[in-house]
Amino acid sequence: MSLETVSTNRAFGGTQGVYKHASKATGTEMTFAVYVPDHAEGAKLPVLFYLSGLTCTHANVMEKGEYRAACAEHGVIFVCPDTSPRGDDVPDDEGYDFGKGAGFYVNATQEPWATHFQMRDYVENELPALIAANFPVDIERQGITGHSMGGHGALTISLRNPGRYKSTSAFAPIVSPLNCPWGEKALTGYIGADKAAWRAYDACALIADGARLPDLLVDQGTSDNFLEEQLKTHLLDEAVAAADMPATIRMQEGYDHSYYFISTFMADHVAWHAERLNA
């Protein structure tokens, strides 16, 4: 599990690093960012994984997410993987919402995507093991969050792995890929036409099928231009209410889908995770 260090920078009394490695899950080189607050020698810190949205790499949240001050204050390591495999041999699509930059955190079963697009295995298994082997994390105290497509990833990964994540949140998540154009395109392309197989990648379907989280925080902007057609936050409201699952879903007046929105509420999310990770 060797890593190559791409860069390190001091920030808020900690170290922001970018690293790359050869991934067994995707069969490609993968790049990710990690922020490690200063800490006592030998200390193990909780870790928060952040999954980015369509078209993003590790760099979007690293450069615009404004998480470092909050992570330094609460002693939380912040990990930012890429959204898909990349490289000359990796297939792509002309659309921004499929292929490179749009892995949807699934394990693809359809060709030509199945060879490399194994982002579920990468985020659920390979990356946490890599982080645990190379950084001072307490893997028993891990949380997960994400934005848009990454919010979909955070919700579904946590719902599929009960007890693994002590905290789960999302910014403007795609709550039901079964019921939106982004999801229909991605899941048909990666998984195939059988919608029964899609349910493992749909937060609302997983909740309806019995999956539960001990708590959930979601922020969604009311001026998000993707809200009605793609995100459909009301479906998550209905799903958690029907399941009597604890959740705080906040509609933030006037906010859009951008990192102006994410950065505004990032410190709230880090503090919320820290409270649960340090309990």
Which residue among the candidates 58, 116, 152, 257 is catalytic per the annotation?
257
224 flagged as catalytic: yes
Within a 10 A sphere around the Cβ of 50, how many other Cβ atoms?
28
58 flagged as catalytic: no
- Exposed/middle/buried for residue 239 (C-beta within 10 Å: 0-12, 13-18, 19+): buried
b/e for 75-84, b at 16 or more Cβ within 10 A? bbbbbbbbbb
219 flagged as catalytic: no
Residues 6+ apart with CB under 8 A from 43: 136
Q: Angle at Cα 50 formed by Cα 12 and Cα 67, nearest 5°?
A: 20
Contact predicate 76/46, CB 8 Å: yes
Residues 6+ apart with CB under 8 A from 260: none
Strand 77-81 versus strand 167-171 pairing type: unpaired
Interatomic CA distance for residues 34 and 232, integer angstroms: 31
Which residue among the candidates 148, 158, 167, 169 is catalytic per the annotation?
148
Active site positions, annotated: 148, 224, 257
